[in-house]
Amino acid sequence: MTSRPDLPVLAQDTWRRFLETCEPSRTDLYRYCRGLTRSPWDAEDLVQDTLARAFVTLAQMHGQEPPNPRAWLFRIASNLWIDQRRRSREVQLEPLEPAGAHAGEPRAQREAAGTLLGALAPRERAAVVLKDVLDLSLAEIAAALGTTVGAVKAALHRGRGKLGDPPPPEKVAAPSPAVLDAFCAAFDAGDIGRLKALLLDTVVVEVVGASTFYGPDAARNVLGGMLFGFRRLAEPGARASYDDRFADGALTHEAPRVEPRLHRGRWLLLHWYRHVDGEAVRAVTTLEVEGEGVAHLRNYFFNPDLLLDLGAELDVPVKVNGHRWWTP
């Protein structure tokens, strides 16, 4: 009698191979989601939702593969976003970055050159982003949106005729600075016990796109990685998952520090790592607070497009870690 395969291990291996296949399209997918949502945070959420939906859908295609994986991902992202818009009539108004806008440019400069998209109907907005941000052909846009070239032309014409002036920035409630200060003090002291004590019993802790843990005890793995993972960046012999090219110049004898910053109405923690050429942000953490404890912690480390986007808006240097948390 044969034993049942380890299903979680098989699922993880399949998931990783799927992400390797999608990796060449990840940056374009983020740019597209960024154009739709107009928020770095919402864009990253939509990217993760799109990849999860694509993974499940691919498993149901009985061995068939999409002929154009990038357009297929765009179509899934479009459908998810349109569904979200239908469920919520809230309009998020943010300026569009034109084609060729560079992530390293200051936010004000990028937005001064942009055009408002928030008031457009969902399909109009998707068409304008695909054309003006990603510079896709009309045929590629039609494939991504599951429509005809004629319909794309009409959507572009209508959408470009509705552009207007941007409204004031949205306001989002910020977590308690007291909890942030306590988290920063414990982190900079390298005290994993104090960090764990700040977490509620029902806490959810994520390394976004890589792993999710429930409860303070399980979260200890993530906290340990946040505190001491820097040593693995510059020690190839001990490194289990980082791509060598992302570890160049990292220092192992100086621990990272965290710094609270307010960004678009929400607090976040910048993780500053030491390198031979100076400090740079390699990760960002957000905390959702209930009372005096942390209910949800999200650590963004394997999210290079989001990190570069945030670095440009906050005007801080960034070094990225790639999309992978595993070795091939």
User: Is the pLDDT at 282 greater than 70, yes or no?
Assistant: yes
Q: Is the overall model pTM greater than 0.85, yes or no? A: no
User: Is the pLDDT at 116 greater than 50, yes or no?
Assistant: no
| Domain 7-160 shares a fold with domain 177-314 | no
User: pLDDT band at residue 233, thresholds of 50, 70 and 90?
Assistant: low
Q: What is the pLDDT of residue 128?
A: 77
Q: State what percent of residues in the chain have pLDDT above 70.
A: 77
Q: What is the pLDDT of residue 183?
A: 94
Tell me 263's DSSP state. E
CA dihedral 26, 32, 33, 39 (to 10 degrees): 110
User: Is the pLDDT at 296 greater than 70, yes or no?
Assistant: yes
Judge: domain 177-314, CATH 3.60.21.10.
no
Of the segments 81-85, 117-121, 146-150, 207-211, which one has the largest average pLDDT value? 207-211
Q: What is the pLDDT of residue 85?
A: 80
Q: What is the mean pLDDT of residues 109-132?
A: 60
Angle at CA of residue 216, ends 322 and 235, nearest 5°: 35
- Helix (H) or strand (E) holding 176, with range, is none
Q: In one letter, which amino acid is 142? A: A
* Cβ atoms of residues 269 and 259 within 8 Å: yes
Domain ranges of the chain: 7-160, 177-314
Alpha carbon separation from 160 to 121, 131, 153, 216, 220 (Å, rounded): 11, 11, 11, 50, 50
Q: In sequence order, which ranges of 116-229 are alpha helices (DSSP H)?
A: 122-128, 138-145, 149-160, 177-188, 192-197, 216-228
* Cβ atoms of residues 178 and 186 within 8 Å: no
pLDDT, greater one: 301 or 116: 301
Q: Is the dihedral of CA 49, 68, 143, 59 positive or negative?
A: negative
User: Is the pLDDT at 149 greater than 50, yes or no?
Assistant: yes
User: Is the pLDDT at 171 greater than 70, yes or no?
Assistant: no
Fold for domain 7-160? Butyryl-CoA Dehydrogenase, subunit A; domain 3 (1.20.140)
Q: Which residues, in sequence order, are CB contacts of 272 under 8 Å at separation 6+? A: 256, 257, 258, 259, 279, 280, 281, 282
Tell me 130's DSSP state. I
- Both structure tokens of 152: 């794309």
User: pLDDT band at residue 147, thresholds of 50, 70 and 90?
Assistant: confident
Q: What is the pLDDT of residue 86?
A: 77
* Residues 15-49: tens digit of each pLDDT: 888 888 889 999 999 999 998 888 899 999 999 99
Q: What is the pLDDT of residue 126?
A: 79
Of the segments 78-82, 231-235, 253-257, 280-284, which one has the largest average pLDDT value? 280-284
* Cβ atoms of residues 286 and 40 within 8 Å: no
Q: Give dist(CA 184, CA 118) in Å, integer.
A: 36
Q: What is the pLDDT of residue 114?
A: 36
Alpha carbon separation from 162 to 33, 117, 118 (Å, rounded): 21, 8, 10
Q: In one letter, which amino acid is 117? A: L
Q: What is the pLDDT of residue 61?
A: 76
Average pLDDT, the chain: 80
Q: Which residues, in sequence order, are CB contacts of 108 under 8 Å at separation 6+? A: none
Q: What is the pLDDT of residue 96?
A: 41
pLDDT, greater one: 151 or 211: 211
pLDDT, greater one: 8 or 31: 31
Q: What is the mean pLDDT of residues 207-222?
A: 91
pLDDT, greater one: 117 or 195: 195
Question: Which residue in 138, 34, 149 sits closest to 92, CA to CA?
Answer: 34
Q: What is the pLDDT of residue 237?
A: 58
User: pLDDT band at residue 1, thresholds of 50, 70 and 90?
Assistant: very low
